[in-house]
């Protein structure tokens, strides 16, 4: 038997046929849905599923189910996308049932970070940990929570939105969620770009001015890291600030959830030591000394395949129960 994992991002949909051992046997990627309305996104999801089935030649009856990871707030148990800041016009849309009705196979829907947690727990750096938290440090900042070997999603399916916890109460910077001063306003790709433009607008002497676009398109974490490596102190300070707030988020995970392992993943982790080291230092600084040795912090193992593998892993884990 197989599962199909589909990872829906703001600009890319990736799908793959996965066996129970966590091997992606066939995959398909496209970008037809980028910045489009829900109807277009749903068409693209269906097209990705059918492309994988067609390429693999597998009888759909041998596909145990389809796991669907979606950015933004979802109520997984209800199968509903509540809101999505990366794609327009999503408001309480029953995506699970719509897709299941189109493809004729069972569909499991959840927040993408939640499914990444399931993937790392089953196939990656979280194997063997009874209580584990996956932290994504990428375009956004969020967590997926494993308690007693099962995904915890909370009362309305939205547990883990740590990126939208307010940590600067007075006049904090705006966040994509509409509040101010959230963790994600600092510790994310969005936060890094915001701080870069803030520095440029203030007249700071920085080479980041050379990569800033007139339309204020996002300055990437990689561009900021490259500038820092070339001696740009403004860029280095931006990285240090993002890492510091990311470490505050990690300390919250330790203090509130007390997991045995934290798996840290997401594209920004590829920046390496300039983020990793100050983030761990900040976590330690903001955590009670009694808890310093209570948790392992380890890098992710599944990399860019985590979305597909996590979505498929949720299908396997749910159907095994």
Please tell me whether the overall predicted TM-score, pTM, comes out greater than 0.75 for this model.
yes
What's the rounded mean pLDDT across residues 69-73? 92
φ/ψ (deg, to 5) at 120: -70, -30
Q: Residue 249 has what pLDDT?
A: 98
Tokens representing 9?
A: 């991002």
Assign 33 a pLDDT band (cuts: 50, 70, 90).
confident
Does residue 85 register a pLDDT over 80? no
Homologous superfamily, domain 132-300: ATPase, nucleotide binding domain (3.30.420.40)
Neighbours of 137 (CB within 10 A): 29
Question: How crowded is residue 34: how many other Cβ atoms within 10 Å of its Cβ?
Answer: 16
Q: Is 10's pLDDT higher than 90?
A: no
Contact, 61 vs 105, CB < 8 A?
no
Residue 67 has pLDDT above 80, yes or no: yes
Lowest mean pLDDT among 84-88, 175-179, 221-225, 255-259: 84-88
pLDDT-based confidence at residue 171 (cuts at 50, 70, 90): confident
Segments making up each domain of the chain, as ranges: 2-123+304-320, 132-300
CB-based contact 64:19 (threshold 8 Å): no
Q: Alpha-carbon distance 138 to 191, whole Å?
A: 10
Where are the extended beta strands (E) located within 9-131?
A: 13-18, 24-30, 63-70, 73-75, 80-83, 91-93, 107-111
- What is the CA 1 to chain-centroid distance, rounded? 27
Give yes or no for residue 86 having a pLDDT over 80.
no
CATH number for 2-123+304-320 (one of 3.30.420.40, 3.90.550.10, 3.40.50.150, 3.90.50.10): it is: 3.30.420.40
**Residues facing residue 147 across a β-bridge:** 150
Spatial separation of the C-alpha atoms in residues 112 and 109, rounded to whole Å: 9
Out of 25-39, 50-64, 272-286, least confident range = 25-39
Chain centroid offset of residue 89 CA: 20
Task: Give me the percent of the chain exceeding a pLDDT of 90.
Answer: 93
Task: Give me the chain's average pLDDT, please.
Answer: 96
Interval 293-306: pLDDT, tens: 999 999 999 999 99
Q: Where are the alpha helices (DSSP H) in 104-180?
A: 112-123
pLDDT of residue 164: 94
pLDDT in tens, 199-244: 999 999 999 999 999 999 999 999 999 999 999 999 999 999 999 9
pLDDT reported for residue 72: 85
Asked whether the domain spanning 132-300 has the same topology as the one spanning 2-123+304-320, the reply is yes
Axis-axis angle for helices 221-229, 233-257 (nearest 10): 120
Residue 154 pLDDT: 96
């Amino acid at each position: 038997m197989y599962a199909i994992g589909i990872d829906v991002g703001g600009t890319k949909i990736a799908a793959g046929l996965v066996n129970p051992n966590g091997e992606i046997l066939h995959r398909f990627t496209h970008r037809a849905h980028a910045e489009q309305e829900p109807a277009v996104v749903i068409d693209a999801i269906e097209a990705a599923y059918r492309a994988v089935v067609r390429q693999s030649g597998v009888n759909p009856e041998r596909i145990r189910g389809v796991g669907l990871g979606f950015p933004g707030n979802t109520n997984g148990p209800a199968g509903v996308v509540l809101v999505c800041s990366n794609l327009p016009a999503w408001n309480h849309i029953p995506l699970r049932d719509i897709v299941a009705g189109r493809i004729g196979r069972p569909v499991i829907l959840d927040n993408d970070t939640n499914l990444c947690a399931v993937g790392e727990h089953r196939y990656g750096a979280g194997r063997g940990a009874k209580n584990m938290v996956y932290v994504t440090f990428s375009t956004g900042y969020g967590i997926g929570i494993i308690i007693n070997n099962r995904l915890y999603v909370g009362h309305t399916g939205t547990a883990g939105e740590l990126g939208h916890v307010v940590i600067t109460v007075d006049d904090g910077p705006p966040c994509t969620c509409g509040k101010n001063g959230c963790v994600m306003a600092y510790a994310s790709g969005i936060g890094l770009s915001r701080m870069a433009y803030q520095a440029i607008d203030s007249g700071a002497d920085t080479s980041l001015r050379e990569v800033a676009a007139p339309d204020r398109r996002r300055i990437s974490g990689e561009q900021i890291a490259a500038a820092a490596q070339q001696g740009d102190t403004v860029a280095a300070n931006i990285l240090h600030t993002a890492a510091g707030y990311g470490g505050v988020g990690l300390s919250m995970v330790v203090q509130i959830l007390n997991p045995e392992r934290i798996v840290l993943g997401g594209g920004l982790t590829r920046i390496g030591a300039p983020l990793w080291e100050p983030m761990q230092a900040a976590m330690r600084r903001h955590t009670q000394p009694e808890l310093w040795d209570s948790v392992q912090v380890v890098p992710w193992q599944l990399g860019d395949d985590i979305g597909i593998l996590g979505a498929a892993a949720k299908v396997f884990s749910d159907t095994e129960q």
